[in-house]
Amino acid sequence: MSTSINYEDKIPNNVDLSSDRRLQRALEGWQPKFMNWWGEMGPALETHGVYLRTAVSVGRDGWAHFDHVNVPDYRWGIFLAEPKADRRIAFGEHKGQPVWQQVPGEYRADLQRLIVIQGDTEPASVEQQKLLGLTAPSLYDLRNLFQVNVEEGRHLWAMVYLLHAYFGREGREEAEALLVRNSGSPDSPRILGAFNEETADWLAFYMFTYFTDRDGKYQLGTLKESAFDPLSRTCEFMLKEEAHHMFVGTTGVDRVVTRSAQLIREHDTLDIGKHGGIPLDIIQKYINFHYTVSLDLFGSETSTNAANYFTAGLKGRWMEERRKDDHQLTEHGIQLDRPNADGTWTNDELSALLALNLDLRGEYISDCQSGIKRWNKIMADAELDFRFALPHVGFNRHVGMHAGFHITPDGSIVDEATWQKGRKKWLPTSEDLAFVRSLMHPVYERGKIASWVAPPTNGINNKPFDYEYVYFH
Ligand SMILES: [Fe+2]
Ligand SMILES: [Fe+2]
């Protein structure tokens, strides 16, 4: 095991793949299937070189190398963070014991399930974003899209490696199935709801990378704590790549909000659609939608599965080791407001162990709040009164205790008729979506940008905004 990566092998890796010929052969058998999938389900736009980063080591500094790469020639590989000497299990009933280098038989099925669910989201987002390259607002954005796409492809590799290396024939079958399910497919959809929604325009892409990739960050954060060390180390490196995806989302929404504010000032009206901008209320509706489908990814507020995973040591809490408690959660409680059919809320006290999904969701929500703060600062700096907000946690939910209730963005439980009337104010309507889509025209000239978004303040890897991030010939 080393921090540097072997690019001599057919499959780049830092797991000494060539020492295990059976595993190497099995993964080399999966590789052409991955390439077929990429060809069919990956980016629809053909280019002749994209300025991409490729991992060259997993160490702390300078792990990335930047160059123009023909996208299908990207070197997808298997990169695990460095092992930590004498790492110990940090929580649950095995707390204090050495971490596992192999899968304990009793946890095999659960660990495999966790890896498959995580693995399923990675190719799903590539599928969801397949057509976006055709309408990129600038070469800079196009490059970022492809960067996100190739890294999600690599995250699939990360999970497939674990399945092949540690889960035998069943693992290999699951690795095949990851290429068979497709986002939005009626017959074999992706496992989680948010990954079957279409990412139809670039505002949706920025929202997805802000809200949904951020869910990914929190899920990976819990798996990074895992007692199964190869999973922990894989997730640790994935988190480094994931940070850029969220940067694309955060700054993407920043730039849309900045541009809308400019147009509002310039034309002295909130009605900026006719001036090629995205009105603030539509941006808010996109926030409402993407935030709430992402909240659904955290599952039910109470979960015996999550409790069992924790107790077994498979999945920890966010920043487990920094928490100041017994790391076994046998006596702690957590408060929760539960909706009632009569329109009231009841405050319950739950066991912290049963409410681990709620704990993780809480961390996620406060992180999302930081985006709202940024975008409101842009409003304030432009001397505009409009303020963005996250809707109530019960709004537009399809998973957990709020599902089946109609809850408004400010947290009132309402009847069906009120909900139907309010819906068009709260969630993007088909007209809103069609309008945003009507703004989406490709801008592939160096240094140029679409009307609805401001240029970034910095380019990639110290290159200027007008750098030729993508070659077309
Ligand atoms: Fe990912
Ligand atoms: Fe991501």
Give 134 Cα–ligand 1 centroid separation in angstroms: 22
The residues, ordered by sequence, that sit 6+ positions from 147 with a Cβ below 8 Å of its Cβ are: 50, 52, 53, 244, 248
Nearest bound ligand to CA 213? Answer: 2
Q: Are 195 and 124 in contact (CB under 8 A)?
A: yes
Nearest bound ligand to CA 247? Answer: 2
d(CA 53, CA 461): 9
Give 241 Cα–ligand 2 centroid separation in angstroms: 7
Residue 131 has pLDDT above 80, yes or no: yes
d(CA 397, CA 406): 9
Give 386 Cα–ligand 1 centroid separation in angstroms: 33
Give 325 Cα–ligand 1 centroid separation in angstroms: 30
Q: How far is CA 49 from CA 9, 46, 52, in A?
A: 23, 9, 9
User: Which tokens sit at 345?
Assistant: 């809320």
Residue 2 has pLDDT above 60, yes or no: no
Nearest bound ligand to CA 119? Answer: 1
Give 295 Cα–ligand 1 centroid separation in angstroms: 17
Digit-coded pLDDT (tens) for 139-158:
999 999 999 999 999 999 99
Give 411 Cα–ligand 1 centroid separation in angstroms: 32
Q: Please tell me the predicted confidence (pLDDT) of residue 411.
A: 97
Give 208 Cα–ligand 1 centroid separation in angstroms: 12
Give 250 Cα–ligand 2 centroid separation in angstroms: 13
Give 115 Cα–ligand 1 centroid separation in angstroms: 12
Digit-coded pLDDT (tens) for 18-34:
999 999 999 999 999 99
Q: Which fold has domain 85-439?
A: Ribonucleotide Reductase, subunit A (1.10.620)
- Averaged pLDDT score across all residues of the chain: 96
Please provide the distance, in angstroms rounded to a whole number, between the alpha carbons at the two ends of the chain.
40
Residue 3 has pLDDT above 70, yes or no: no
Nearest bound ligand to CA 148? Answer: 2
Q: Please tell me the predicted confidence (pLDDT) of residue 1.
A: 45
Residue 103 has pLDDT above 70, yes or no: yes
Give 206 Cα–ligand 1 centroid separation in angstroms: 15
Nearest bound ligand to CA 242? Answer: 2
Give 75 Cα–ligand 2 centroid separation in angstroms: 18
* Residue whose tokens read 């930047």: 66
Backbone phi and psi for residue 290, each to the nearest 5 degrees, phi listed first: -70, -35
Mean pLDDT of 323-343: 91
Nearest bound ligand to CA 152? Answer: 1
Q: Please tell me the predicted confidence (pLDDT) of residue 46.
A: 94
Q: What is the pTM of this model?
A: 0.96
Q: Please tell me the predicted confidence (pLDDT) of residue 183.
A: 96
Q: Please tell me the predicted confidence (pLDDT) of residue 59.
A: 78
Digit-coded pLDDT (tens) for 258-299:
999 999 999 999 999 999 999 999 999 999 999 999 999 999
Mean pLDDT of 388-415: 97
Give 195 Cα–ligand 2 centroid separation in angstroms: 12
Nearest bound ligand to CA 246? Answer: 2
Give 122 Cα–ligand 1 centroid separation in angstroms: 5
**Sign, Cα dihedral of 433, 436, 441, 443:** negative
Nearest bound ligand to CA 118? Answer: 1
